[in-house]
Amino acid sequence: MLAPVAVALVLAVVFQSALALLMGVIGPLMVVGGWWEARRRGALKHSAALLEFEDQLVEHEGVVERARRDVRDRATRLHPGIQDWAHDALWRGPPPATETLSVGHTRWYPPPGHPLAGTGAIGGMPALVDMTRGLALVASDDQHSLWRALALQWRAHSHAVIPSWDLGDQPPRDFRGPSRLAWVSATTDIPTECLAIVIHRGGVMAELHIPGEPPQDVVLATLSHAEAMRIPRGRLGVSDVVDSEPDLARRDQLWVSLAQRGPFFDLLSEGPHTVVWGATGSGKSVTVVALVSSLARHYAPDHVVCVLIDFKGGAGLAPLAALPHTVGWVTDLAPDSSRRALRGLRSEMTRRERILEAATRADWSELDSSLEAPRLVIVIDEVAWLLANQPLWAEVITDIAARGRSLGVHLVLSTQRLSGVITRPMMANISFRVCGRVTDDAELREGMPDASASLASALRHVRPGQALVAGALSPPQMSAVDQVQPSSRDDSPASWKVWADALPAVIPWRDGGMGESPWAWRECLDTHSAVSVPGLMGPGLVAIVGDRFSGRTTAAYALAWTHAGALMAPHDGASLWVCLNAVSGTDRTLVVDDVDILLHGTAPEGEAFLVDALEGFSGALLMTMSARHRLSRSLSRLASQVLVMPIAKPEDRDVWGASSRSCPGAGLWNGEDIQVVHGAPAPTLWVAAELSQPPELSQVPVVVTNSPEEWAGSPITEVIDSTHHSSAWATLARYRAGQPILIDGLNDREARSLLQGGPWIPPLSPPEGSLWLWDGSRPVLTTRERWRG
């Protein structure tokens, strides 16, 4: 590259031409420039190609993933598992006879030559066995759900006829279809006819052995007894005709009818939950009453109990209230009952889970008949109003709809419309559906999409007393609805409780001695009975908030009696400050009643001073206050616990989260409704020692007053007239720091002005007949008569 430059230099010298030198330099520069441009263009082209490759790679991966998903979906459609039948209430007809059976799900590797070969395993693929070669399940004797899933599929796919096997019973452990199916406890017991072997490894995991193939890890399908009873009988080659005389003694069935002449429906297999809907005046309440009345006629209260929730004033479900099966009734006329019912139903779900766990059962129908475990039917009239106005109920109803089947809890919901009221998650678990007269076919299609056009047309003009009924096993059919007067067998009222009875409005206080008397009662969710509420457990500030006449003072007295050594604080700012300092750090409990009124009567500086003193108190302190005072929220934030008594105004009630109960003594304590006892006496009133016994002083005090004539002849050192500020200040300056000083008639500002740099007096006016005394080291209260002789 330097050669052209050297030649140009020689030519420039020979010919004495600068142009030759310039041309020699420009040439190499152009070469370098061309090389750099080619390199840059190559880099840009490479980057564009790399981006295009990455886009194509992402697109290819998406195509591969969709292809893998399509393979899995197609395989699942061709070989549906038992859960597909159990969870699809509208699936009718048995599957076609096939030679392969899905025992669960496994991971499948596409073989060489397959379009997806090399893309890795596809999860969730059906684990297939050849039904003509026999199948054995090796599992312990308690794996009934695994065996039930295999046996029902074997029966349905093979169309085997097994006369000794009724669907309500456990499947036999060894029977034949196209080949032999057996359940054994050990590998040594496997029949030689069974070439495919499923060895249970724990939970739902198993190992599948098929001759000529490597072992496969399989996630087995399971099926509870209740789920098995939900599968349409037609899918198993069993007649859909139900006996006209149902067996009412069986725990795994719950028969209902809307008319005495039938037809009968098994709520467990057709439901397990029910929804009744229709236009106003279509007879929804009559239908619900007929349905629940049929349960009462057929079953005793130890088999079925009911909870009624009616937000139309209770009129719709009132005929059912007298049934011995009814263990709870909630209406909009008793707003506090809604809160108790909500809490009780949550507790009931937990209670039933514990019963199943203790019995080592997975479903309520599997419990021993000797165990007291009635099914619970929750009847809700006008559920739309409930869900719209009390949103907390939506969560509970959705939970019951999802888990109620296995826990023996069944919903019966009534509403005018389904759309916008019953959510899809709820509706997915409500298969027993009753529709009265509707004016819009869309309302019918919402709940019964397979109803024929003729039924839809007829339903627009039916009178109350007829309804269209459909269930998980039963196609839509017209049924009569009897208008009945509820009656039941001659039974005693149910002993099962879902929540306790309402606490009485007045509970008398019982004197058990200081520290031993119950101060309030609450509902125990475990026993559904009233139990006493624990009292004060140690130091801390307790705020008691409520309206006048709400029982807040009564509550403070009763709560104070749970702690030995309770005292009543004086009701003026100065005495309260002295009291707080005297009691703080001791094991005494101090009650400050109407602290909001006390603060309101104090000057602004004194108010802030007292609030600081309350915050710094060390010990147990009970304060009562109005819900509307401007300082109530600030004081409550200092409290370790807050007791909220009745509050009338809804906006204040929402701020404090108060209960809707309005009777005096009703409160909300630690999130629970309580009823405070009535009649507890007030604790002993605290009195300053300086007021009852004169303080011992080393010197006779001087008095600073704006009325010196009133102190003439008093046994004191000197009377200082505060109206002459300069002379008074100079006189006080002559006394040493330990000189006792009485302050008479001076307001806070005047006292601070005269005493600045010397004794300190709180910014609180002393009560009538009392004075502030600086005893040489601290301010104390004393009586005027003590020093005026």
Rounded CA separation 296/288 (Å): 12
Confidence of residue 136 (pLDDT cuts 50, 70, 90): very high
Question: Mean pLDDT over residues 562-589, rounded?
Answer: 89
Note the pLDDT tens digit of each residue in 260-304. 766 788 899 888 999 999 988 888 989 999 999 999 988 999 999
What is the pLDDT, as a whole number, of residue 377? 96
Q: How confident is the model at residue 164 (pLDDT cuts 50, 70, 90)?
A: very low
pLDDT tier, 222 (very low <50, low <70, confident <90, very high otherwise): confident
pLDDT at 323: 92
The pLDDT of residue 578 is above 60: yes
Give the span between the Cα atoms of 674 and 518, in whole angstroms: 12
Tell me, what's the pLDDT at 94? 46
Question: Rounded to an integer, what distance in angstroms lies between the CA atom of residue 264 and that of residue 474?
Answer: 11
pTM for the full predicted model: 0.58
Phi, psi dihedral angles at 65 (to 5 degrees)? -65, -40
Q: What is the pLDDT of residues 592-637, one digit of tens each?
A: 999 999 998 888 888 889 999 999 999 899 999 998 888 888 888 8
Q: Which pLDDT score is estimated for 179? A: 65
**CB 11 within 8 Å of CB 24:** yes
Coil vs helix vs strand at 67: helix
Q: For 483-542, how does the pLDDT look when each residue is reduced to its tens digit (9 = 90+)?
A: 887 765 567 888 888 887 778 888 888 876 655 678 998 888 777 778 888 887 678 899
Fold match, 255-432 / 520-685: yes
* pLDDT, tens digit, 9 for 90 and up, residues 199-216: 999 888 999 999 888 999
Least confident of 501-510, 657-666, 670-679, 728-737: 728-737
Extract the tokens encoding 663.
Answer: 């009777």
Hey, what CATH topology would domain 520-685 get?
A: Rossmann fold (3.40.50)
Overall average pLDDT of the 664-673 stretch: 88
Task: State pLDDT tens for residues 74-110.
Answer: 888 777 777 666 555 555 444 444 567 888 889 888 8
Q: Is the pLDDT of residue 751 over 80?
A: no
Q: Tell me: pLDDT of 26 over 60.
A: yes
**What is the predicted pLDDT for the residue at 96?**
46
Least confident window among 391-405, 425-439, 448-462: 448-462
- Selecting from 3.30.160.110, 3.40.50.300, 1.20.210.10, 3.40.50.2300, what CATH number does the domain 255-432 have? 3.40.50.300
Q: Residue 109 contacts by C-beta under 8 Å, 6 or more apart in sequence?
A: 120, 121, 122
The per-residue pLDDT for 241 is 37
Please compute the mean of the pLDDT values over residues 21-27 and round it to a whole number: 68
Q: For residue 161, name the pLDDT band (cuts at 50, 70, 90).
A: very low
Would you state the torsion angle of the CA atoms of residues 354, 359, 361, 362, taken in this order, to the nearest 10 degrees?
A: 0
What percent of the chain is modeled with pLDDT above 70? 86
Q: How many CB atoms are closer than 10 A to CB 33? A: 10
Arithmetic mean of pLDDT, 181-189: 90
The residue-averaged pLDDT of 582-591 equals: 90
CA distance 116 to 63: 11
CA distance 554 to 706: 43
Q: Where are the domains of the chain?
A: 3-76, 82-110+121-236, 255-432, 520-685, 689-788
Kindly state the greatest CA–CA separation across the chain.
138
Nearest to 573 by CA among 541, 608, 544: 608
> Which segment of 412-416, 434-438, 470-474 scores lowest on mean pLDDT?
470-474
Burial 347-384 (b: 16+ CB within 10 A, else e): bbbeebeebbeeeebbbbbbbeeeeebbbbbbbbbbbb
Q: Model confidence over 348-374: pLDDT tens digits?
A: 999 999 999 999 998 998 898 888 899
How far apart are alpha carbons 682 and 684 in whole angstroms? 7
